[in-house]
Structure 1
Amino acid sequence: MFRAWALLAFIFPVVVFSNEIAFDSQNVSTDTKNIVLPNTINSKLDDSIATGIEPIYPESWLANLFYQSLVGFSVTDVGNSACQLQSKLYLSHLKNNSYWAVKMADSWPRYLNGLLIGNTHHIGVYDECISVHQPIQGKYCLSNIELRTSTDQNFTQYSKDKYTSFDNAWQEILGFIDYGDRYKRNVIKLGVCIPEACTSEDLEVSLQRELDRIFQAHQLTTQVKVKPEFCSTNISFFPYDTGYYVTCIIIGLLILVVSFSTVYHLVACCNGRENKPWHVFSAQILEITNIFSVITNGKDLYEFDKNNELSIFNGVSSLLMMMTIITHEWIISITGPYLYPKPIEEFYQDAHYNLFLSVNNGIDYFLFISGYILYTIMITKFRKPECNWFQIPKIIIYKYLKSLPVHVTMILLTIFIIPHLGNGPFWANQIGLDANKCKQYWWTNLLVINNFIEGGKQCLFAGYYTSLQLQLIVIGMIVVYIYGKNRKIGTGVLALMISASLIIPFALTYYSKSEGITKFNISFLLNLSESTTSNSYHYTHLYSQLYVRGLPFYIGLLAGIIVEVLKKKDIKMSKTTTLITTMVAFGLYMYVQLYSNVFYQRHRDYNAIESSIYAAIGHLNTPLFLMWCAICYTTSSYGFLEKLLNNRFSNSLHKLSYSVYLVNCTVIRMVVSSVRASEVLTTQMIFMKFIYTILTSYLAGLIMHLLVDAPFGLLINRVILGRRSSRKVKDD
């Protein structure tokens, strides 16, 4: 109970200072770079109405203006002579209702709908456009059109959070304020089918000229942008270069080796020579084939030691990995096209008791478990007199090499293979962006420093965690070694690391005037997916860096020390005490976790002290709760919950966790990037997508594990540790 009161006392300053110190929100640089207006928005509207000043809106509605611009549009009068010839041919056949020309014209929309509700994507029919081959090839392009007013009038001062039935609909468009929780009403993504000879620049110039002709007469301006990667035909956008063929050969050889090893192992098992080779040469072949055999690695995957008290953390990790996949699926799918995005907006706008909005500290669970298990396993080894500090580099190199095969495989697949596995209006841009980032910054992943570069430039969507964990393992090894040799010095070093991990986030948040959390809202995710920069100081400097995310890991080390002391003293708690204290701890945990929802509220004055305190204790909340659970598990029992988490099935899923973590984001991005049309989210559809994502991620993770992770892991075990028994190595 002492820790519970201590946690409550630690949270208390947040409540005390939450309303005392306020700053002008227009002078604060928030994470998502949104315009945060004070509580006087509606009062300004009332003042304008009282003084008789009313905004002047265009007489014709936006959809009508687009129709006037697009109804007869074609790419004409551009510098590209080939484009001009094909456009003239297209127009002449369109007048005669030729099948191929009408097919191109029929594949993209002229009259746009859903503009008020946030339907920003007007895609048309992608496959109908690119299916035209003769006499010219159809090319599909997705243009980005941003709408502005050409007058000096500031429509944002008349904006409301909710509009009534008789408000002017133009206010929703011209007065749009990006709070981060809505899709932009003043940005349109329009699909257009053009002849293949026309480039993205040709379309951009022609479309800009045609929109200006109509919109400027209504005191409106548009800015048209068409990226080359948003234009595609039925021919792959990505070249089949040397890297593609080399990667295919490597993967083909790997599949061939695994297949041959599995068949050879199966024949040896059927002939009874699995463990009794008839010749020395045969023994060497059998040993090598066993390493790459699906049979061997499948047995290791199925193995389970029910007497290992750490196995329960495997069950916790596997459950958390499923939640991580669901979170990634939601975060990535937000960037997709939606016909009716209102439910998504309402989800983000409902900032009361919304647990999903606090997922910014989701990896804290894994970091705590890593620290706890690291201490539990290594402390006995480091306390041996014959163990010296030379053992630390060997273990670190071993851990680094173990993480390398799957990581390198995913980088190669992302750069050379995955871009050729699909198409669609968004495929080349989204998948190409991932490939380009890995082409430029793959070396940061191999050097384990990719979490220190700008968030939007990191290779692999969630690859920063691998580097972060390896960096913490290096520090954790040193701390545990020092503690094993000298308890007082080790305790002081650990206390110093915990103190620094609390002070640094507080100081950085306070002096940068950032929010207390990284807000994964709609605007942030769209910026992250559409550009090469995250546009977020918080994400780049306060989310993935070692000096701000190490606190859960260090608390895990501390929990290992406390549990060890309790074991030596043979302290026990009753099940009733365990249940009650865990419920109290969970209540405090949920209070601190859900408090982060206040940072999503509109018109809320910025409070530097509040944000800084929460930035510090936000990553302390989860490990403190898990530490208490570890203490209760050691000194008592959770009964049925232990059986639910500590079993063969959850243990097998845990062994796939590393492969699943690295492949799940790529699988999700491939699904989202291959969509052809806007969708409408329903509760049933959301659950079906979650189930499908989990199943496909684990299937891809299983393939990656059997082909790469397990075989190369056994090779590394033999080279680094000099061990041949896979079972012994797996246990260690």
Structure 2
Amino acid sequence: MSEMIRTIAIVLLVFPALVFPATLNQNATKISQTSLVRPVDSTIINTVHSRNSSRAYPKVWLANLLYETLVNFTVRDVGNTACRKQTEMYIRHLQNASYWAVKMSDSWPRYLNGLLIGTTHHMGVYDECVSVHSPVQGKYCIPQINIETTSGEDFTVYSKDAYESHDHAWQEILGGVNYDDRMRLRNEIRTGICIPGSCTATDLQVSLQKELDKTLLAHKLKAQVKVDPMLCSTDKDLYTFDTGYYLTNIFIGLLVLICSLSTTYHMILLIKTGEGEKPKKMPELLNMFSFVKNGRDLIKYDRNNHLNIYNGIKVLTMILVLFGHKFLYYVINPILNPVLVEEIYTKGPFFLLTCMNLVDPFFFTTGYLMYVMLIPQFSRAKCNWTEVPQVIIYKYLKTLPSYIMVMLLTAFVIPHIGDGPFWAYKMWPEAEKCKNYWWANLLAVSNFIPVENQCLIAGWYISCLLQFLVIGTVVMYIYVKRHKLGTRIIFALFCTSLIIPFAITYNTKSYGIIRVMVSFLLNPANSFEFTNLYRQFYLRGIPFYAGLLAGLIADALKKREIQMSTKVAYVSTAIITVICSYIQMYGKVFYVRHRPYNALEQAIYAVLSHCTWTTILFWIAICHTISSYGPIEKIFNNRFVVPLGRLSYPVYLVNITIMMIIESEQRAAVVPRISNLHDGWIAGVFKTYFVAVLIYLCVEAPFGLLIKKLLVGSKSSEDKLKNQTSGEKEPVQIAQNEEIKL
């Protein structure tokens, strides 16, 4: 036994060296004090110069130069007549210290600090600016100012990864290298400015450019000003109130009214029912929309259902997904000290950098439960191939009501429910995507259209799930009818799913991990890997086909009555978890700045990264079938967790939207402390599950029952009678009666 343990230990130590020879250097296995850039950027070498070197640095510090420009800045000399008149009025009243004019002037900063540590936004007080309504409307804008030198000297050749106390402060501003692990270059400045409401973004851009030129050119500096119209806002709702807005609100109002009336009638019947009396039967249609009936279905708990554990796994995974999504949207908002975010690339937590495969457990669970649920259905004596499209259509229709509701809310309602300096910039484009590309979601092809056009960021996952539904249902029918052929197809699909990501990653010379770089955080479309190697179903097949395979193997072991002790299950699961965690965290080395690119290493890791969570869950599925996890199983199988697991679908649909709403209303820069992130995550989790419960009770549950009624009702009475006599269930009934959803 000791020899076996020693051998395993040696293999674990030697394996990375054999597979990844480029990482033998001890320094390469640690995150350096900087983060990764593309291989083409790795030629940049820090050159150490004498501190007495003569360089043409400006003599006045940047903050002082900007203060000289901003202290008395107003929008001047523009062609907009209305803007010019309101500005003249603003200047006169400011000189007289009129309350409204001073409020506008007082709402935005002049002397900017935090320039060296990269403070992303100098915000001022947004609400103070937009609260001015008379005699002019205050408008809050966030221009972007890029500072450059006019001398033509390239200060990047003097750049260092970390500056020392005696280095010149201007070097950090002028010599910034565009590394992808920095929140922004230090010469990029975004500051809030309050202007009269009739002035446009172009008016501000032209006027500010002129004023900066007057100040900076004398110091051999120049500025490039850009003002995005979407970053100019007032406290008025300027998003279009179109027909879709009114129709969506009418539909929601009617739906809430129907549910309220149904629930009220149901409660009256329950109250009037005497003790020992049989409750009066609710009308079937009203019963479908009753919160009482749907609430009971939600909290229903059968402790003997051996599949309950997968509800617990889904809940745990969803909590981690919510934390990841909170982080993604938290760090792209105004940050007071971006260095703390940049240190994540060097100090961790590395889970955040390697967690882009966190949806793999959902794909695995889908595959495994598909095997468990469809085997008895397709094994019925009367079953034929016509039930394959019935199952696919039923599951597809079940996804639509909640899906459509979230798309309608995103397109027509959500843009009107919030405000803030970033609200229009972040939420309006999401609405336009859903108005223009809703069809891709309904056709389940949203994972094949460009990322920048995708309605609902979570839509790619739903499309993948429905595509796997079609494949899995067909494969399972073949497996039941022709066991050997079906087994070979499952193995072939699994092996193919291992080969495809390896081949594509190697041929495209891309990374084997979706790196959570700053450019990706700002816009996922900037990531080649996310756009081309993350959303497509043929690149996400490893966990799904492994789930089918796990069901097949677990079923075979159960039939042979093979047993495993609880102790062995604990120890083996712990060992596998440690090994997979080591492989998962190995992905942190891909964030090391200047690290040589190795195509073979990346291709291998592209496969291994989708095998980490998959392997752990594969083994858990086997152990849960032929053994037991004892008391620890209660964590994943109890009255609290099981209902939360049933909410996984609506939670996944709304969680990103909820996080975006929370973060898009931000008014001021925040310090990115882990405690702040935790607090925001906890609040986001509660809000997400609260909205998910409403979606479930008002949309998913009632329309799911209605869809079931319509599909079952299409069967002839004679067929129903035969099924009842033989004890067989309708295909839809089997799928609906399972507590675990695909």
**Same fold by TM-score, threshold 0.5 exceeded?**
yes
Residues of 1 paired with 2:153 and 2:291: CA distance? Answer: 69
**1:98 corresponds to which letter in structure 2?**
S
Answer with 240-249 or 171-180: which moved more: 171-180
**What corresponds to 1:667 in structure 2?**
658
Cα pair distance change 1:482/1:189, threshold 3 Å: same
Q: Find the partner of 1:731 among 714, 721, 738.
A: 738
Does the 8 A contact of 2:36 with 2:591 survive in 1? no
**What corresponds to 1:71 in structure 2?**
71
How far residue 460 of structure 1 moved from its aligned partner, in angstroms, is 1.1
Length-normalised TM-score, structure 1 = 0.92
Cα pair distance change 1:140/1:658, threshold 3 Å: same
Cα pair distance change 1:511/1:287, threshold 3 Å: same
Residues of 2 paired with 1:448 and 1:12: CA distance? Answer: 44
Length-normalised TM-score, structure 2 = 0.90
**What corresponds to 1:92 in structure 2?**
92
**1:669 corresponds to which letter in structure 2?**
M
Residues of 2 paired with 1:21 and 1:700: CA distance? Answer: 46
Does the 8 A contact of 2:391 with 2:731 survive in 1? no
**What corresponds to 2:613 in structure 1?**
622
How far residue 660 of structure 1 moved from its aligned partner, in angstroms, is 1.1
Residues of 2 paired with 1:516 and 1:228: CA distance? Answer: 38
State yes or no: 1:355 paired with 2:351.
yes
Does the 8 A contact of 1:32 with 1:519 survive in 2? no
How far residue 6 of structure 1 moved from its aligned partner, in angstroms, is 11
**What corresponds to 1:658 in structure 2?**
649
Matches within 5 A, 1:601-620: 601-620=592-611
Does the 8 A contact of 1:182 with 1:523 survive in 2? no
Cα pair distance change 1:302/1:607, threshold 3 Å: same
Cα pair distance change 1:293/1:392, threshold 3 Å: same
How far residue 391 of structure 1 moved from its aligned partner, in angstroms, is 1.0
Does the 8 A contact of 2:331 with 2:672 survive in 1? no
Cα pair distance change 1:166/1:639, threshold 3 Å: same
Matches within 5 A, 1:687-698: 687-698=678-689
Matches within 5 A, 1:116-131: 116-131=116-131
Q: Find the partner of 2:42 among 27, 33, 38.
A: 38
Secondary structure of 1:358 counterpart: coil
Residues of 1 paired with 2:7 and 2:414: CA distance? Answer: 52
**What corresponds to 2:20 in structure 1?**
18
Does the 8 A contact of 1:21 with 1:609 survive in 2? no
Does the 8 A contact of 1:121 with 1:337 survive in 2? yes
**1:302 corresponds to which letter in structure 2?**
I
Does the 8 A contact of 2:273 with 2:279 survive in 1? no
**1:408 corresponds to which letter in structure 2?**
I
State yes or no: 1:515 paired with 2:506.
no
State yes or no: 1:462 paired with 2:458.
yes
Residues of 2 paired with 1:449 and 1:320: CA distance? Answer: 25
Residues of 2 paired with 1:333 and 1:384: CA distance? Answer: 51
**What corresponds to 2:210 in structure 1?**
209
Does the 8 A contact of 1:337 with 1:678 survive in 2? yes
**1:492 corresponds to which letter in structure 2?**
R
Cα pair distance change 1:633/1:266, threshold 3 Å: same
Residues of 1 paired with 2:733 and 2:470: CA distance? Answer: 25
State yes or no: 1:159 paired with 2:159.
yes
**What corresponds to 2:330 in structure 1?**
333
How far residue 544 of structure 1 moved from its aligned partner, in angstroms, is 1.1
Cα pair distance change 1:194/1:468, threshold 3 Å: same
**1:591 corresponds to which letter in structure 2?**
Y
Secondary structure of 1:359 counterpart: coil
Matches within 5 A, 1:132-171: 132-171=132-171
Answer with 605-614 or 149-158: which moved more: 149-158
Does the 8 A contact of 1:178 with 1:523 survive in 2? no
Residues of 2 paired with 1:441 and 1:33: CA distance? Answer: 33
Residues of 1 paired with 2:148 and 2:39: CA distance? Answer: 16
Cα pair distance change 1:524/1:33, threshold 3 Å: farther
State yes or no: 1:409 paired with 2:405.
yes
**1:365 corresponds to which letter in structure 2?**
P
**What corresponds to 2:723 in structure 1?**
none
**1:294 corresponds to which letter in structure 2?**
F
How far residue 595 of structure 1 moved from its aligned partner, in angstroms, is 0.5
**2:564 corresponds to which letter in structure 1?**
M
Q: Which runs of 5+ in 1 are unaligned?
A: 23-30, 529-533
Secondary structure of 1:145 counterpart: strand
How far residue 244 of structure 1 moved from its aligned partner, in angstroms, is 1.0
Across the aligned residues of Structure 1 and Structure 2, the Cα RMSD in angstroms comes to: 2.7
**What corresponds to 2:302 in structure 1?**
305
Does the 8 A contact of 1:36 with 1:603 survive in 2? no
Secondary structure of 1:396 counterpart: helix
**2:193 corresponds to which letter in structure 1?**
V
Secondary structure of 2:558 counterpart: helix
Secondary structure of 1:224 counterpart: strand
Secondary structure of 2:575 counterpart: helix
Matches within 5 A, 1:394-473: 394-473=390-469
Answer with 586-595 or 11-20: which moved more: 11-20
Q: Find the partner of 2:626 among 627, 635, 639.
A: 635
Residues of 2 paired with 1:134 and 1:8: CA distance? Answer: 77
How far residue 440 of structure 1 moved from its aligned partner, in angstroms, is 1.9
Residues of 2 paired with 1:638 and 1:8: CA distance? Answer: 29
**1:162-213 alpha-carbon deviations (Å, 9 max, x no partner):** 1111111122222222332221122222111111111111111111222222
Q: Which runs of 5+ in 2 are unaligned?
A: 25-34, 714-729
**1:88-119 alpha-carbon deviations (Å, 9 max, x no partner):** 11112212222111111111111111111121
Q: Identity rate of aligned residues, in percent? A: 46
Secondary structure of 2:108 counterpart: coil
Secondary structure of 1:357 counterpart: coil
**1:473-506 alpha-carbon deviations (Å, 9 max, x no partner):** 1111111111112222212222222222222212
Does the 8 A contact of 1:360 with 1:518 survive in 2? yes
Secondary structure of 1:139 counterpart: strand
Residues of 1 paired with 2:500 and 2:150: CA distance? Answer: 46
How far residue 155 of structure 1 moved from its aligned partner, in angstroms, is 2.1
**What corresponds to 2:718 in structure 1?**
none
Residues of 1 paired with 2:438 and 2:390: CA distance? Answer: 24
Secondary structure of 2:119 counterpart: coil
Does the 8 A contact of 2:270 with 2:279 survive in 1? no
Matches within 5 A, 1:675-686: 675-686=666-677
Secondary structure of 2:198 counterpart: coil
Secondary structure of 2:143 counterpart: strand
**1:243-299 alpha-carbon deviations (Å, 9 max, x no partner):** 111111111011100000000111112223999798xxxx6x621111000000010
**What corresponds to 1:551 in structure 2?**
542
**1:203-254 alpha-carbon deviations (Å, 9 max, x no partner):** 1111122222222333333222212221111211212221111111111011
Secondary structure of 2:189 counterpart: strand
Does the 8 A contact of 1:137 with 1:196 survive in 2? yes
Residues of 1 paired with 2:557 and 2:735: CA distance? Answer: 29
Residues of 1 paired with 2:680 and 2:480: CA distance? Answer: 48
**What corresponds to 2:222 in structure 1?**
221
Secondary structure of 2:194 counterpart: strand
Residues of 2 paired with 1:98 and 1:715: CA distance? Answer: 63
Residues of 1 paired with 2:11 and 2:549: CA distance? Answer: 20
Does the 8 A contact of 1:14 with 1:613 survive in 2? no
Does the 8 A contact of 1:11 with 1:592 survive in 2? no
**What corresponds to 1:27 in structure 2?**
none
How far residue 392 of structure 1 moved from its aligned partner, in angstroms, is 1.2
Secondary structure of 1:687 counterpart: helix
Does the 8 A contact of 2:441 with 2:455 survive in 1? yes
Cα pair distance change 1:527/1:641, threshold 3 Å: same
Residues of 2 paired with 1:717 and 1:269: CA distance? Answer: 25
Does the 8 A contact of 1:265 with 1:286 survive in 2? no
Secondary structure of 2:148 counterpart: strand
Residues of 1 paired with 2:480 and 2:436: CA distance? Answer: 42
Q: When the two structures are aligned, how many residues end up with a matched partner?
A: 708
